[in-house]
Amino acid sequence: MKVLKAACVAFVVILGVASAIRQSQLWANAVDAVSTGASVADRDGRLHVPDDYRTTYQLLGSWAIAADDSHGSKELHVVYASPGVIDAYRKDKRFPDGAVLVKEVFKATTSEMTTGTVSRADALKGWFVMVKDAANSHPGSPLWGDGWGWSWFDAGDRSKTTTTNYKAQCQACHVPVRTSDWVYVDGYPPLKP
């Protein structure tokens, strides 16, 4: 009987170890696939919004865009980074090649609550996706350059960008942060040590 119990315990331990190793391998493969931008760019450099970013990516932070009438916010931006980006950035102070950033842009609704005037996310307007590309993988594409792939997607279609030229439609907003790799890193607490 003792031998049978010992064999059962050993079997359960082996199953647990095998499961942990398998989970580790699956996570490593997911990190490799996501962090290399493979899940958001096809071989021709066409981007799309990754389906699983809310469950597999890391939250970087959010921004509230003030309303024109100074009452609350008109937009909320919520930004996610592909797995491993935060640790890599903390280590090297730069975004690793293949890093993916996804920004959700919401219309905001402002109302009074017990805590005061509050703005919250309302209707999704769309997504802005950036993929770090230090290798300049798509030199002929007007959506790739300055170390990134850039694309905006309207809320109705996460696979078709409305961006036709990143320099004309995306980069102007990022000029103030050119020295921090075109990203407003000050707004992302997880990137700070």
Strands laid side by side in the 148-154 sheet = 58-66, 73-81, 100-113, 116-132, 148-154, 144-145
Asked, for residue 101, whether it belongs to a domain, the answer is: yes
Asked, for residue 22, whether it belongs to a domain, the answer is: no
Integer Rg of the chain from CA: 21
Q: What are phi and psi of 171, to 5 degrees?
A: -65, -30
pLDDT value at 32 more than 70? no
Asked, for residue 107, whether it belongs to a domain, the answer is: yes
- Tokens for 70? 């100074």
Asked, for residue 153, whether it belongs to a domain, the answer is: yes
Asked, for residue 12, whether it belongs to a domain, the answer is: no
C-alpha 136/C-alpha 147 separation (Å) is 7
Say what the pLDDT of residue 9 is: 38
Total count of domains within the chain: 1
Asked, for residue 52, whether it belongs to a domain, the answer is: yes
pLDDT digit string (tens) for 85-118?
A: 999 999 999 999 999 999 999 999 999 999 999 9
Check if the beta carbon of residue 91 is closer than 8 Å to that of residue 109: no
pLDDT value at 10 more than 50? no
From the list 89, 93, 73, the residue with the least C-alpha distance to 81 is 89
Asked, for residue 51, whether it belongs to a domain, the answer is: yes
**Position 146, amino acid:** D
- Its domain, for residue 86, covers 36-191
First to last CA, the chain: 55
C-alpha 106/C-alpha 119 separation (Å) is 11
Contacts of 11 (CB under 8 A, 6+ apart): none
Say what the pLDDT of residue 28 is: 42
Q: How far is CA 122 from CA 58, 81, 151, in A?
A: 22, 22, 22
Asked, for residue 15, whether it belongs to a domain, the answer is: no
Check if the beta carbon of residue 37 is closer than 8 Å to that of residue 98: yes
Q: What is the CATH number of the domain that holds 114?
A: 3.50.70.20
pLDDT digit string (tens) for 36-70?
A: 465 799 988 999 999 999 999 999 999 999 999 87
